[in-house]
C-alpha cells in the first residue's frame, strides 16, 4: 500500500488540504494517509520545533507528501518555513518545482483580449539552489553598519539537471529566464549549461528572456509560452504571475520532484493566506489540482485526469469560492468536486 504523508500546516493550509484528502479518499485507490498535523506554527511557538527528525523520516519513506501551507503572522522568524518546507525540498533533493498553469475558465482571465487568454504553460523552477540555499551571513547586526549577504548559488550539476527536466517535458519550446545581463557569474553558468543542453534537443524550440521582460511578456501574451525554466527566486515570482493569469492564487498547483527517485511533494502555490484563514472562503482548487499531480506521480494518470476534469466542471457550473466570483464555501467546492469525480 502506498503511503501519502499529509502536512496540512497553517492558516488555510488545513482547510484546503482537507478537501483534497476527501477527494482522494473517494477515488478508492487504497492510499494509506499519514497525517502530520503537529507540523504547524503553534507547535513551533510552544516548543521551538519546526519539524522533528521522525516526521522528516516519515516524509522521506512515503510515496508522496501532500502539503498545505506554512506561515503565520505570529511567527516572523523565517527559520520556521525554512525548517519545514525548504528542509523537505532540500533534504529530499526535490530539485524540480513543476508549476503548471492553464486558464481554468475564460471568465477568470484578467486579460482584456480573449485571443491572448489561453495560457497553458509550466514554470520549471530550480528548487534546491539559488538565493534559497541559505549561504551567507550578517555582520555588525543591529548597528547602523550592518551588512547582510545571501549567496545566490548555481552549480553546473544543479543547473544541468533542471534544464534537462525542462526539455524532457517540453511539448513545443523552452524559454530560459535569467538576469545574465546584471548577475554575471550565475548568469554565465546558466547560459553555458543552456547552450549545451539545448543543443542536445534540436527538436525543441528555444528562446531566452531576462526576467523583467519575461514578467512583462507573460502579461502581454501568455500564449507564447510552453515551458519556462528559471532559478529558484525568479520561478517563485513568475509562478505567482502565471497563477494570476490562470485563475488566481487559489487555483495554482505544484509538484516538487526529483525524477530520479521516489518521493515527491505536492502543494498549492499559495501560502497560508492569514487574511482569509478561518472564514471558510479559501479556494481548495489549488490543493485538489496538486492532489491530481500527486496521482500522476503515483501512476494513477486516469484518476488524475478525472480530478482535473471534475475541477473544470465544478468551476464551469459556477460552484466557486469568492475569489473566483462565487458564493460557495471551501467545503461546498470540495463536495462539488467530489460529487463530479464520483
Ligand atoms: P498567500 O499566498 O498566503 O496570500 C496571497 C493572497 O492570495 C492573499 O490575498 C490570499 O487571501 C490569497 N489566497 C491565497 N490562497 C488562497 C486560496 N486558497 N483561496 C483564495 N485566496 C487565496 O501569500 P502571502 O500573504 O504572501 O503569505 C502568507 C503566509 O504564507 C506567509 O507566512 C508566507 O511566508 C507563507 N507562504 C507559504 C507558502 C507555502 O507554504 N508553500 C507559499 C507562499 C507563502
Ligand atoms: C512557495 C513559497 C515559498 C517559496 C516560501 C514559503 C518559502 O512562496 O512555495 O512559492 O518561496 O518557495
Ligand atoms: Mn511563492
Q: Enumerate domains of the chain plus CATH numbers.
A: 1-94+254-342 (3.40.718.10), 110-246 (3.40.718.10)
Residue range 222-250: average pLDDT? 98
ipTM above 0.90, yes or no: yes
Taking 3-state DSSP, the helix, strand and coil percentages for the chain, each rounded to the nearest 5, stand at 45, 20, 35
- Looking at every residue in the chain, the average pLDDT score rounds to 97
Is pLDDT above 90 for 253? yes
88 pocket-lining for ligand 2 (C-beta < 6 Å): no
Whose alpha carbon is nearest atom 12 of ligand 2? 236
- Helical pair 301-316 and 330-341, crossing angle rounded to 10 deg: 130
296 pocket-lining for ligand 2 (C-beta < 6 Å): no
Residue range 139-163: average pLDDT? 98
Summarize pLDDT for 28-55 with one digit per residue, the tens: 999 999 999 999 999 999 999 999 999 9
SS3 161: helix
Which ligand is located closest to the Cα atom of residue 11?
A: 1
- Helical pair 232-246 and 211-220, crossing angle rounded to 10 deg: 10
SS3 178: strand
Q: How many angstroms separate the CA atoms of 140 and 158, rounded?
A: 33
Residue range 181-187: average pLDDT? 95
Bridge partners of residue 69, in order along the sequence: 9
Residue range 156-170: average pLDDT? 98
**pLDDT number for residue 16:** 99
Is pLDDT above 90 for 342? no
Residue range 314-340: average pLDDT? 98
**pLDDT number for residue 13:** 98
The distance in angstroms from the start CA to the end CA of the chain is 22
Bridge partners of residue 139, in order along the sequence: 147
Strands 227-230 and 120-126: parallel
- Whether 279 contacts 330, CB under 8 Å: no
Ion ligand 3, residues whose Cβ is below 5 A away: 236
Catalytic residues: 132, 179, 212, 236, 240
Residue 157 alpha carbon to ligand 2 centre in Å = 23
C-alpha cell at 272: 497560508
The percent of residues in the chain predicted with pLDDT above 90, rounded, is 98
Mutate-to-test residue for ligand 2 from 9, 85, 131, highest number of ligand atoms within 8 A of CB: 85
Residue 270 alpha carbon to ligand 3 centre in Å = 6
Summarize pLDDT for 46-81 with one digit per residue, the tens: 999 999 999 999 999 999 999 999 999 999 999 999
Residue 85 alpha carbon to ligand 2 centre in Å = 8
Q: What are phi and psi of 226, to 5 degrees?
A: -110, -80
Residue range 201-227: average pLDDT? 98
Whose alpha carbon is nearest atom 43 of ligand 1? 271
Q: Which of 173, 227, 230, 238 is nearest to 201 (CA)?
A: 173
- Whether 65 contacts 35, CB under 8 Å: no
SS3 53: helix
**pLDDT number for residue 235:** 98
Identify the H or E element spanning 254: strand 253-257
Q: Which of 136, 335, 97 is nearest to 227 (CA)?
A: 97
Is pLDDT above 90 for 1? no
Summarize pLDDT for 100-123 with one digit per residue, the tens: 999 999 999 999 999 999 999 999
152 pocket-lining for ligand 2 (C-beta < 6 Å): no
Mutate-to-test residue for ligand 1 from 270, 284, 315, highest number of ligand atoms within 8 A of CB: 270
**pLDDT number for residue 12:** 98
Whose alpha carbon is nearest atom 10 of ligand 1? 273
**pLDDT number for residue 95:** 98
**pLDDT number for residue 244:** 98
Amino acid at each position: 500500500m502506498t503511503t501519502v504523508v499529509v502536512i496540512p500546516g497553517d492558516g488555510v493550509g488545513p482547510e484546503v488540504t482537507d478537501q483534497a484528502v476527501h477527494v482522494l479518499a473517494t477515488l478508492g485507490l487504497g492510499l494509506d494517509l499519514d497525517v502530520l498535523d503537529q507540523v504547524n506554527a503553534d507547535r513551533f511557538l510552544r516548543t521551538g520545533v519546526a519539524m522533528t527528525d521522525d516526521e522528516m523520516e516519515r516524509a522521506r519513506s512515503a510515496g508522496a507528501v501532500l502539503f498545505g501551507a506554512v506561515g503565520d503572522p505570529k511567527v516572523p522568524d523565517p527559520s520556521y518555513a525554512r525548517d519545514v518546507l525548504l528542509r523537505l525540498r532540500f533534504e529530499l533533493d526535490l530539485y524540480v518545482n513543476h508549476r503548471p498553469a492553464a486558464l481554468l475558465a475564460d471568465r477568470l482571465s484578467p486579460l482584456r483580449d480573449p485571443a491572448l487568454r489561453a495560457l497553458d504553460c509550466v514554470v520549471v523552477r530550480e528548487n534546491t539552489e539559488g538565493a534559497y540555499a541559505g549561504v551567507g551571513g550578517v555582520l555588525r547586526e543591529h548597528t547602523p553598519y550592518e551588512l547582510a549577504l545571501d549567496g545566490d548559488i548555481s552549480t553546473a550539476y544543479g543547473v544541468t539537471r533542471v534544464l534537462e527536466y525542462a526539455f524532457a517535458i517540453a511539448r513545443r519550446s523552452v524559454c530560459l529566464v535569467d538576469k545574465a545581463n546584471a548577475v554575471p557569474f550565475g548568469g554565465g553558468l546558466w547560459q553555458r549549461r543552456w547552450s549545451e543542453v539545448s543543443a542536445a534537443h534540436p527538436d525543441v524550440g528555444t528562446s531566452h528572456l531576462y526576467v523583467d521582460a519575461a514578467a512583462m511578456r507573460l502579461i502581454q501574451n501568455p500564449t507564447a509560452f510552453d515551458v519556462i525554466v528559471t532559478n529558484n527566486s525568479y520561478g517563485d515570482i513568475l509562478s505567482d504571475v502565471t497563477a494570476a493569469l490562470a485563475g488566481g492564487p487559489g487555483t495554482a498547483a505544484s509538484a516538487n520532484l526529483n525524477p530520479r527517485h521516489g518521493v515527491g511533494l505536492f502543494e498549492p502555490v499559495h501560502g497560508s493566506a492569514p487574511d482569509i484563514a478561518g472564514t471558510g472562503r479559501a479556494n481548495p482548487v489549488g490543493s485538489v489540482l496538486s492532489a491530481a499531480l500527486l496521482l500522476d506521480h503515483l501512476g494513477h494518470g486516469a484518476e488524475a485526469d478525472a480530478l482535473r476534469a471534475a475541477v473544470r466542471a465544478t468551476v464551469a457550473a459556477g460552484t466557486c469560492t469568492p475569489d473566483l466570483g462565487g458564493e460557495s464555501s471551501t467545503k461546498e467546492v470540495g463536495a462539488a468536486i467530489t460529487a463530479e469525480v464520483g
